[in-house]
Amino acid sequence: MRYEVKALKQGGVATLALDAADAGDAAAQAQQQGYAVIAVKSRQAWLAGAFGDRGALRRRGSFPLVQFSQELLALLEAGLTLMEAFETLADKELRPEIKSILKQLVARLYEGHPLSYALKQNPECFPPLYVATVRASEKTGALPEALSRFIAYQSQMDSVRRQVVSASIYPALLAVVGGLVTLFLMIYVVPRFSHIYADIGSELPLFSRLLMQWGDLLGSHRTSILAGGAALLALGVHAARQPAVRRWAAQRLWQVPGVGYRLHVYQLARFYRSLGMLLRGGMPVVTSLQMSADLLQTALRDRLALAAEAIREGRSISHAMDKHGLTTPVALRMLRVGERTGQMGDMMERIAAFYEEETARWVERFTKLFEPLLMLFIGGVIGAIVVLMYFPIFELAGSIQ
């Protein structure tokens, strides 16, 4: 983000224009140049009020964590030291907000801080799960392996998310187009037919008469209806961005028969994959459970806290998870196998893979069933409107014959 810094130097006031991640970073840059900072102001203050100090990074998209990890891994495997790798990434970066963050990391590494500490200072870029993975690798000196695990983890998570999103695009598009066509017929087409039938003076069938009355009502208030629809749409978009509304919608969705179970399984799959990655990286079990808790719904987090307490008291992972409803029959058996073989991290990732594949198959089956049903419903609504509009014409033609 671009900042204007008012500062003193050699008895005069100067105004500097600096690219920085936040106001503190801009002030630090000015101080390094020998200035005494008076005030720091963003050139996009009205956006900063809406998005926070790191608004530019949030507006343009989140920090490219997977790309950053892939490039860092490639440089480390090529033989560069950690410091050299970060300096290389900072030098080649063209986006000022990303470049500033990388320079901050380099500065903290030069101060002698470990990489996990440097990453933790930028929570909007590096989530706790990523920081924990790096922290575990610092104990073993296996940072490339940790980066490889995280890249594989994130790629798999993104793959499942893309499948769900891509399966939702066509039904959503179909519903929007069908709704717009229905609205156009009711606001513009039906009122014109109503005027024609009024001029003819013929008696309309009941359902056609009701349709014409609704069409007249909507047509006479079309401006208010369109304005109200636009306002409701804007309100809905705003509400969808509110965490409280999202939580409420998620709770309602969890109560839908069939869908709630699939959401439960999907969250457990994400949880087990994250937990398996941390355990393979050398993190303790209880710490790994706490680090992965954010991936679960609030009700499941409470169960996880009880399970973690039971594990801390010496109970087995499989027993604690099963007792507090954090397993399925398949997951329970696989956890027991992991405990017998000592490969708990690998087994948890296999559990996640099993349920991710099952979720993908369910989404595919649901989409194949839902799309024709939605198309049939929309076609039925539009077809009914058209038939009711033309039905009096058919009757009139029959009476003339």
In a domain, 309, yes or no: no
CA triplet 138, 320, 133: central angle to 5 degrees? 15
- Flag whether pLDDT at 304 surpasses 80: yes
Per-residue pLDDT, 54: 43
Residues 47 and 73 in one domain: no
Residues 256 and 185 in one domain: yes
Packed helices 344-400 and 190-200: angle between N→C axes, nearest 10 degrees: 20
Residues 244 and 354 in one domain: yes
- Single out the residue in 95, 120, 153 at which a domain terminates: 153
In a domain, 305, yes or no: no
In a domain, 95, yes or no: yes
Could you give the strand order of the β-sheet that contains 36-42, starting from the edge strand earlier in sequence? 12-19, 2-9, 36-42
Over residues 269-279, the mean pLDDT reads 83
Please report, for the domain that includes residue 80, its CATH number: 1.20.81.30
Per-residue pLDDT, 232: 87
Domain extent, residue 17, equals 2-59
Residues 190 and 244 in one domain: yes
Tell me how far apart the alpha carbons of residues 354 and 337 are, in angstroms, rounded to a whole number. 15
In a domain, 262, yes or no: yes
Share of the chain above pLDDT 90, in %: 1
- In Å, how far from its chain's centre is CA 339? 34
In a domain, 188, yes or no: yes
Average pLDDT, the chain: 80
Per-residue pLDDT, 17: 75
Copy the structure tokens of residue 227: 């304005």
Residues 25 and 143 in one domain: no
Over residues 370-398, the mean pLDDT reads 83
In a domain, 227, yes or no: yes
In a domain, 318, yes or no: no
Beta bridge partners of 14: 7
Tell me how far apart the alpha carbons of residues 184 and 87 are, in angstroms, rounded to a whole number. 58
Greatest mean pLDDT among 54-63, 155-164, 370-379 lies in 370-379
Over residues 313-325, the mean pLDDT reads 88
Domain count, the chain: 3
Residues 190 and 236 in one domain: yes
Q: What is the per-residue pLDDT across 69-119, written as a single tens digit (0 to 9) for each?
A: 888 888 888 888 888 888 888 888 888 888 888 898 889 888 888 888 888
Q: What is the pLDDT confidence band of residue 389, given thresholds at 50, 70 and 90?
A: confident
Residues 103 and 239 in one domain: no
Residues 188 and 259 in one domain: yes
Residues 251 and 199 in one domain: yes
Residues 34 and 144 in one domain: no
- Flag whether pLDDT at 299 surpasses 80: no
Q: What share of the chain is helix, strand, coil (3-state, %, to 5)?
A: 75, 5, 15
In a domain, 311, yes or no: no
Q: What is the pLDDT confidence band of residue 396, given thresholds at 50, 70 and 90?
A: low
Residues 214 and 80 in one domain: no
Residues 111 and 8 in one domain: no
Residue 128 in 3-state DSSP?
helix
Per-residue pLDDT, 397: 63
Copy the structure tokens of residue 172: 């959503």
